[in-house]
A and B are shown apart, each in its own frame.
Chain A
Amino acid sequence: EAGVAQSPRYKIIEKRQSVAFWCNPISGHATLYWYQQILGQGPKLLIQFQNNGVVDDSQLPKDRFSAERLKGVDSTLKIQPAKLEDSAVYLCASSQTRPGTGHETQYFGPGTRLLVL
């Protein structure tokens, strides 16, 4: 079974530039998550989708971050404009069960390492 795919794997940009990350979840997984992991910290949930609807985006800095999952499969996360503190690994994860139905196993992609100069 193919895992969660993410691209690009690495990105270096200057502050105030824009950047976009792409995620393709495991086939059939309805729930998709984007996390930000700053060095030395645990992953921080940015946004959670159930199919193409947003379940939780309470920790997404909406003034500069946006995400979409238009057809309920692939997703993109965008930062515009980027700041130095956005340097982190951006992880995408997917899971199969629907919210509230039981324990949820997330499968993570390899992440995109972003460096903002």
Chain B
Amino acid sequence: RKEVEQDPGPFNVPEGATVAFNCTYSNSASQSFFWYRQDCRKEPKLLMSVYSSGNEDGRFTAQLNRASQYISLLIRDSKLSDSATYLCVVGGFNNDMRFGAGTRLTVKP
């Protein structure tokens, strides 16, 4: 079993749609959780950290369920500029990071 698993997609959605990505992790001792965004041929960039209480940043909402070892990202009112690969990242006690394979999103006009 992979340490961090994501639905690879691709997700093809129209502008304005709401899309949700899911991620599961295997190590119950994981300490920190993130969503990163990676554009084609670019480096990953932090989108948002994920907290147990859930957190929202504009059109983006992230949630963590430690009991189910499950992380989600919701994007509302999708924009063309949201097209990218979204990487789920899980950190251990020493902040040793494990990345999922990424979920590819394409937002179409």
Contacts and interface: CB of A to CB of B under 8 A. Distances in A.
Interface of A: 31, 33, 35, 40-45, 48, 50, 55-56, 91, 95, 97, 99-100, 102-111
23 contacts: A31-B95, A33-B97, A41-B101, A42-B4, A42-B101, A42-B102, A43-B87, A43-B99, A45-B96, A45-B98, A48-B94, A48-B97, A95-B95, A99-B93, A99-B94, A100-B94, A103-B32, A103-B34, A103-B49, A104-B32, A105-B46, A106-B97, A110-B42
A18 B33 CA distance: 36
Nearest to A99: B94
Given A100-B93, A109-B43, 8 more contacts: A35-B99, A40-B101, A43-B99, A44-B99, A99-B93, A103-B32, A104-B32, A108-B43
Nearest to A111: B43
A55 B87 contact: no
Contacts of A44: 99
B44 interface: yes
A94 B41 CA distance: 19
A105 B102 contact: no
A83 to B, nearest CB: 22
A56 B98 CA distance: 12
Contacts of A40: 101
A87 B2 CA distance: 22
Contacts of B31: 100
Nearest to B95: A104
A91 B32 contact: no
Contacts of B100: 42
A105 B32 CA distance: 10
